[in-house]
Amino acid sequence: MKLVELRLDFLGRAINLTRLLTDRPTPVVITIRRREDGGRWMGSEADRQMMLRAAVVAGAEYIDLEADVADEIPRYGNTKRIVSYHDFNETPDNLAELHAHMAASDADIVKLATMANSFADNVRMMELVKNAKVPTIGICMGDIGTPTRILASRFGSPFTYATYSTERTLAPGQLNYKQMNDLYHFDEINADTELFGVVADPVAHSHSPLVHNRAMQAAGVNARYLPFRVAKDDLHHFIDACPKLGIHGVSITIPHKESALNYCTQAESSCTGIGAINTMIFDKEDRLGYNTDYRAAMDCITEIYKQSAGNERAINDRGIQGLKVLILGAGGVSRAIAWGLKQRGAEITIASRTFERSAMLANEMTARAIAWENRYDVKPQLLVNGSPVGMHPNLDSSPYDQAAINQFMVVFDTVYNPENTLLIKYAREQNARIITGVDMFVRQAAYQFKLFTGREASTALMRQAIKDATSNVRFN
């Protein structure tokens, strides 16, 4: 059932309930939120309660009543009572006590909306909803709380909230109707839906939910891929909660790639060598670690050298063995690429804007570290940008000057938003061969999809999804 919440506190003129409710195409929830509860009501409390009573008399299907005033507005007719509580600072420790008090106020539905400050807040809220005897809507606000919105029906909520506007949200972390409908297919999530996601901090910028959900929908898989914002010091709580919430696997990115390896019961050998994972699969009691960044990057490099060499033997013997490589950046993706190239006998030099990080990575990879300002002293055959320089919104930045690029080089930029970074544009103008961040992103996502679902992903669909997400053109 579709509902529309009418936020009368947002109306800047005299409220005509008859006009609003006559011939309405769908059931409505009438809400007049006070400023202290995150609303915009500017009138007196007496006038607000009078308007709420009038909405009940007018036959609104639902009315939202704050817990402290619910007992002052009696039940009348067929209007159902949503007794609500909002806390924009935290998720209180006494959720169960609050819930019991609200349920006792003649509630048809109890609504709790609190700010999530840790993933444990999500778990407590979803468990409360699942075990409640009275229908309960439990929402944790903010980016950390997004899963409670998407998974509301799975845990027993009668409905959840989304904004119709793509530009305005009425509560922190609220998703819009198009996202809930088209990306997450909220109405189709059930107890059998397998859950996956990306773990990061921040996570709102991630395009992985779009890419994986499109691929899962195209493959006919009953699964959803969610954004999980998890702080660096909260990762252990999240991993412990995954089996309880039915999460079968996660993509792992900044800042968790290295620390997540410590929570694996098993990990493929490349992860141990790299010292990081970007994928974790939950298999009964086991936590299995993988690094699809490494696989994807090596595939991209091998393919471009194979194309120029003409055959597989050439790439094995001459393509990468002894190849002079300059890697810009010393983060997780640079670490994965450096390890893969080291295994294949490349001569690696690493430069980052923080020399100490370059030196540490170079020492681990038996490579050479140089100062950032000396990066042009190297004459690489393969240039890899593993730094964020050139990433949106810094579109006019490049980690490497155009004059230092020549037609005999391969230029690999791991930045995928935008695909055509300034570095890639420079490389094209110099007739160098290129590998874009989209090439790598799609390959690593396809590997993850196979680990998650056991099926091959449509890389063409994934490529189109990431291009749609990073395009400057938006269609509503």
Question: For domain 307-435, is the CATH number 3.40.50.300?
Answer: no
Q: Which of 37, 64, 86, 121 is catalytic?
A: 86
Q: Domain segments of the chain: what residues?
A: 1-166, 307-435
Based on the residue annotation, tell me whether 257 is a catalytic residue of this protein: yes
Amino acid 411: pLDDT: 98
Residue 305 confidence (pLDDT) above 50: yes
**φ, ψ dihedrals at 300, nearest 5°:** -60, -45
Q: pLDDT digits over 435-461, tens only?
A: 999 999 999 999 999 999 999 999 999
What's the pLDDT band for 318 if we cut at 50, 70, 90? Answer: low
Based on the residue annotation, tell me whether 293 is a catalytic residue of this protein: yes
Q: Are 282 and 301 in contact (CB under 8 A)?
A: no
| Total-model pTM | 0.92
**Cα 205 to Cα 217: distance, rounded to the nearest angstrom:** 21
Helices marked H in 261-412: 269-274, 292-309, 312-314, 332-343, 355-364
In the CATH scheme, what is the code of domain 1-166? 3.20.20.70
The residues, ordered by sequence, that sit 6+ positions from 307 with a Cβ below 8 Å of its Cβ are: none
- What is the pLDDT averaged over residues 162-180? 85
The residues, ordered by sequence, that sit 6+ positions from 319 with a Cβ below 8 Å of its Cβ are: 302, 305, 306, 309
Based on the residue annotation, tell me whether 299 is a catalytic residue of this protein: no
Based on the residue annotation, tell me whether 111 is a catalytic residue of this protein: yes
Residue 319 confidence (pLDDT) above 70: no
Residue 317 confidence (pLDDT) above 80: no
Q: What is the mean pLDDT of the chain?
A: 94
Q: pLDDT digits over 353-384, tens only?
A: 999 999 999 999 999 999 999 999 999 999 99
Q: Which of 37, 99, 111, 121 is catalytic?
A: 111
Q: Which of 293, 299, 413, 439 is catalytic?
A: 293
What's the pLDDT band for 385 if we cut at 50, 70, 90? Answer: very high
Amino acid 80: pLDDT: 98
Q: Which of 207, 248, 256, 257 is catalytic?
A: 257
Query: In the chain, helix, strand, coil percent, each to 5?
Result: 40, 20, 35
What's the pLDDT band for 314 if we cut at 50, 70, 90? Answer: very low
